[in-house]
Structure formats: C-alpha cells, structure tokens
Amino acid sequence: MEDNTKLLESLLERASEYGKTSFELVKLQTLDKTTDVVSSLVPQSVVILLIVSFMLFLNLGLALWLGDILGKPFWGFFVVAAFYILAGIFIHFFMHNWIKKLVGNYIIKRVLK
C-alpha cells in the first residue's frame, strides 16, 4: 500500500514537473516568435519613416512648384491633395484585399518561421 502511495506521489510530482516544463517551453517559444516579429518590424519601420519623410518634402516641393505654375500657391496644394484622394479611393476599392493579404501572409510567415 505504501509502495502504491509513493508511486502515485512520484507520478503526480513528475506530471506536475512536466506541466511546468511544458508551460515554460510555450512561454519561451512565444517570446522567441514575438521577438523575431518585432525585431524584423523595427528596421522596416525606420525605412518606412525615412520614405515618408522623403515623400512629405517631395510633396511640399511639388505643391509649391505647381502653385508657382498655376499662379497661386494654394492651387498646387489642392492639386496634390486631389491626387492623393484619388489614389486613396483607388487603393481602397481595388487594392485593399491584396494589401491585406500581403501583410497578413508576411506576419504569418514571420511567426511560423
């Protein structure tokens, strides 16, 4: 009887240790995947920030140049704004699903790597 009790205690202790170890493994795997995704997004965010800064100054210059051509500075800004609203509408209606799928696949690929 005592042997059965010790065997059961040993079995429960091992099961408990296995559960704790499995939980720690899942935590470490999650941390690894999260770190991989975040560490790949940070450099890309810096590049995107630089591109956005470039586009901002390019658009300001283009708007001022078009304003000079059209006679009033604000007309250049209206033309640039009209271009972006048309581009936004086009992207929303025709490319939204494609961009969503592209970003989703990228994130899934990074997580499953």
Q: How many whole angstroms separate alpha carbon 51 and alpha carbon 104?
A: 22
**71-93 residue pLDDT tens:** 998 999 999 999 999 999 999 89
How crowded is residue 63: how many other Cβ atoms within 10 Å of its Cβ? 20
CB atoms within 10 A of CB 76: 22
Count other C-beta atoms under 10 Å from residue 37's C-beta: 14
Q: What is the pLDDT of residues 33-68, one digit of tens each?
A: 888 878 888 888 899 999 999 999 999 999 999 999
Q: What is the mean pLDDT of residues 5-10?
A: 82
Read off the DSSP letter of residue 71. Answer: S
pLDDT of residue 15: 87
Tell me the residue range of the domain where 88 lies.
Answer: 2-112
Domain total of the chain: 1
Q: Record the pTM.
A: 0.58
